Amino acid sequence: MKVLVVGANGQVGRLLVHLLRDSKEHTVKAMVREDEQAAALKQLDIEVAVACLEQSVEEIAQAARGCNAIVFTAGSGRHTGYDKTLLIDLDGAVKTIEAAEKVGIKRFIMVSAIQAHRRENWHEKMLPYYAAKYYADKMLEKSDLTYTIIRPGGLMSESGTGKVTAATDIRSGKIPREDVAKTIIQSLTEENTYYQSFDLISGEVPIEKALKLL
């Protein structure tokens, strides 16, 4: 499966791109927004598409052509205003869904946020962020795509353990970014994750088994 990683310059995105590059099952195309980012990835023999989520659906569709799946792991980041949250985390995600439909890509994995599906549990200081995730996820669920929505807990930079807890409703928890990336890869072809949305934190169950228990 050839996978377009949208948000390939983000922390989860970078890990995911390298894991996919080294995978025996999949190949990868990294979507970034700047030529400088693209040049760095090309030096690592990674295929790159330069496209901006704030531009047209056609630009994203062009980046996606030739791929079999899309992983949306882009985000506006903590240091931008909520205008960028709206444009990237919500509208950028919806544009990517539309681009997938436009070019006939069915498999789509969305990286969301823990408890984004429950308004009553949104973090008070991040309400616009959670609202963006909530409605992007809703749009994906209403699409014709074969979707998986992964809602990781607080992201950590330490090495992954390969063991997680995955369930439809987990109130809180943390997880290494590496384990999020590995869960994404495992989900690509794990049919038990198709049309599923779940929270994801560190746990005691190997990723492959955890996904089969959803």
Whether residue 93 contacts residue 31, with contact meaning beta carbons closer than 8 Å, is answered with no
- Identify the three-state secondary structure at position 149: strand
Quick one: pLDDT band at residue 79, thresholds 50, 70, 90? confident
CA 188 to chain centre: 11
Mean pLDDT value of segment 127-140: 97
What is the pTM assigned to this prediction? 0.97
Percent of the chain with pLDDT over 90: 96
- Average pLDDT score over the chain: 97
When computed from its CA atoms, the radius of gyration of the chain, rounded to whole angstroms, is: 16
- pLDDT for the residue 135: 98
Quick one: pLDDT band at residue 168, thresholds 50, 70, 90? very high
129 carries an active-site annotation: yes
Q: Tell me which H or E stretch contains 173.
A: none
Angle between helices 177-189 and 11-21 (to 10 degrees): 50
CA triplet 20, 196, 181: central angle to 5 degrees? 25
Q: Between β-strands 107-111 and 69-72, what pairing exists: parallel, antiparallel or unpaired?
A: parallel
Tokens of 192: 């038990």
The per-residue pLDDT for range 16-70, each reduced to its tens digit, is 999 999 999 999 999 999 999 999 999 999 999 999 999 999 999 999 999 999 9
- pLDDT for the residue 89: 97
Pick left, alpha or beta for residue 104 (phi over 0 → left; psi -120 to 50 → alpha; otherwise beta): left
Catalytic residue selected from 129, 130, 134, 147: 129
In one letter, which amino acid is 193? T
